[in-house]
Structure 1
Amino acid sequence: MAARESVSAWRPRVPGVTEVFHAHFTEHAYPMHVHDVWTLLIVDSGAVRYDLNRHACGTLHETVSLLPPHVPHNGSPATPEGFRKRVLYLDSSVLDPTLIGAAADTPDVTDPLLRLRVGQLHTVLARPGEELEAESRLAFVGERLRTHLRSFPLPEPGRGVAEQLRDLLDARVREGLTLDEAAGLVHAHPAHLVRAFSARFGLAPHQYLTARRVERARALLLDGLPPAEAATSAGFYDQAHLGRHFKRVVGVSPGRFRSTPQSPRPQGREELRDKPPRADGPD
């Protein structure tokens, strides 16, 4: 019998970490979607294949994947048994937005020490009351990620109509806007605007807006809001509307996501010392 899929999600009291997400998926495939924060991913068993910035990528146990905000990506199991993953969602206080281009070009990092430190950080985050140690470990993870990303500088792309439309959608996630309104604001024909956005980001404007609304609902659910209230606050018509899109993107229903354990038993194989991290590193 195939192992049952499982999900745990919680928001720790650690600045810079907006969510911790642990999951075991055997069949769930993520559609193209975006996050408004950084996605730091490690895999404990199996493998994940995904497309990012129109390039095929993959995450194994030995690698660390860093997916930048606002860049569409998908994901699916690359092995028959599926995969077990642990994810940290990190805000701009950990990684600066100027590093997005480098991360989009080189999302998968083979660095045994970084892999170890990320796993150890997950272990500490699952222990309430150890927030100071978690902050210390996060600081060293962020430092090592920045070192990797600054080895691959990329020029900042120009801002065409696609980027302008993305800015409009980001500013109006809840209320949205019509295509005609957007076309008027960026001075482009509606058909050209949709075509340019889809070519630039790999998904249509309405798919991007839906993904952003799912992200907002996800945060509201972690704050304790009931699914019905989270749905309308995020911009969905009602709870059923949220439910259809949430399960497709996250892999579970909003109600199940909201009721997941807040501090699951660590799944990785990392071991931690009883003493606090040294000044020169957490290992």
Structure 2
Amino acid sequence: MAARQEEVSAWRPAVPGVVEVFHAHFTEYAYPMHVHEAWTLLIVDDGAVRYDLDRHQHGTPHDTVSLLPPHVPHNGSPATPHGFRKRVLYLDAGVLGEDLIGSAVDAPDLRDPVLRRRVGQLHSALARPGDELEADSRLTLIGERLRRHLLRTEGSPRPDPALARRLRELLDACVVQGVSLEEAAALFQAHPTHLVRAFSSAYGIAPHQYLTARRVDLARRLLLDGRPAGEVSVAAGFYDQAHLTRHFRRLVGVTPGRYRGGPVPLGRGVPT
């Protein structure tokens, strides 16, 4: 018989709309009937969860995304002998709106590989301090896809190059201090989802990717000026030196310390 195991990690990220991030591994624990004020967005990485929602039984195999609406009682228990490992986002009720609660009650388990992958990517971004704009961008696209599921609507967003250009100019002006999607949406009187779609359509990358690339460019210039990496990380808008190193290595191919190494023999140059 497997030993009882309970592992829990929970935090509140600095991302509008995310009330709580909750990761857990339970082998025996069963949730009693309860409710949340927030939307519960759940993915299971191992095992499965059996739960009741509105007097109907449901399950969460690892290839689905489960969306449990606020104010509707549900429970939860392991559906496999070894329990389950899950990642949960509790989203502010306003992220999707209470008018979609009925649709979520009718069909809470969504088989959508793209949505499943995006939710996993959002969890990864939320675990990395300094990547709040990436998490914000991913959340707004996830919200759009969830609404499409609940409303059963299709359709491609219309291009908006003028809005994309305005957002790019704003990002260019805020390379170090950054800007949230919420702030940009209020400034341009546009929905955050439309902002991300318009920018990605116009430039081929998401706003957070553009801002990170601009920050890495700034870091390169500061490093070549002779400033130490620890000082450069803050001066270029990164959360800390580890945040700078992770993105610098990904975009440049080497760490900041190796980048500023002086001339090297032909054939061993640093990527530009």
The two structures have a TM-score, normalised by structure 1, of 0.53
- The structure whose RCO (Cα within 8 Å, separation 6+) is larger is 1
Match of 2:24 in 1: 23
Matched, 1:142 2:147: no
Deviation at residue 94 of structure 1 after TM alignment: 1.4
Deviation at residue 149 of structure 1 after TM alignment: 0.3
Match of 2:85 in 1: 84
Amino acid at match of 1:132: L
Match of 1:48 in 2: 49
1:4 & 1:89 partners in 2: Cα distance? 23
Q: Aligned residues: percent identity?
A: 73
Match of 1:34 in 2: 35
Match of 2:128 in 1: 127
1:35 & 1:144 partners in 2: Cα distance? 22
Amino acid at match of 2:27: T
Residue segments in structure 2 that go unaligned for 5+ positions in a row: 154-249, 252-272
Amino acid at match of 1:64: V
Residue segments in structure 1 that go unaligned for 5+ positions in a row: 153-273, 276-283
1:48 & 1:13 partners in 2: Cα distance? 29
1:38 & 1:103 partners in 2: Cα distance? 10
2:4 & 2:52 partners in 1: Cα distance? 26
Larger Rg: 2
Match of 1:66 in 2: 67
2:72 & 2:94 partners in 1: Cα distance? 18
Deviation at residue 3 of structure 1 after TM alignment: 6.4
3-state SS, counterpart of residue 13 of structure 1: coil
2:29 & 2:116 partners in 1: Cα distance? 25
1:53 & 1:124 partners in 2: Cα distance? 33
Match of 1:163 in 2: none
The runs of at least 4 aligned residues of structure 1 exceeding 6 Å deviation read none
For residues 181-240 of structure 1, the C-alpha deviation after alignment (integer angstroms, 9 at most, x for no partner) is xxxxxxxxxxxxxxxxxxxxxxxxxxxxxxxxxxxxxxxxxxxxxxxxxxxxxxxxxxxx
1:78 & 1:51 partners in 2: Cα distance? 12
1:121 & 1:24 partners in 2: Cα distance? 19
1:6 & 1:87 partners in 2: Cα distance? 14
3-state SS, counterpart of residue 81 of structure 2: coil
1:94 & 1:84 partners in 2: Cα distance? 25
For residues 71-116 of structure 1, the C-alpha deviation after alignment (integer angstroms, 9 at most, x for no partner) is 0000000000000000000013311110000000100000000000
3-state SS, counterpart of residue 21 of structure 2: strand
1:8 & 1:121 partners in 2: Cα distance? 16
Change (3 A) 1:112 1:7: same
3-state SS, counterpart of residue 93 of structure 1: helix
1:3 & 1:29 partners in 2: Cα distance? 12
3-state SS, counterpart of residue 28 of structure 1: coil
Contact kept? 2:6, 2:24, Cα under 8 Å? yes
1:117 & 1:86 partners in 2: Cα distance? 13
Match of 1:95 in 2: 96
Mapping of 1:1-283 within 5 angstroms?
2=3, 4-151=5-152
For residues 146-166 of structure 1, the C-alpha deviation after alignment (integer angstroms, 9 at most, x for no partner) is 0000029xxxxxxxxxxxxxx
The two structures have a TM-score, normalised by structure 2, of 0.55
Amino acid at match of 2:8: V
2:147 & 2:127 partners in 1: Cα distance? 25
1:129 & 1:18 partners in 2: Cα distance? 18
Match of 1:174 in 2: none
3-state SS, counterpart of residue 60 of structure 1: coil
1:149 & 1:43 partners in 2: Cα distance? 21
1:4 & 1:49 partners in 2: Cα distance? 18
Change (3 A) 1:59 1:116: same
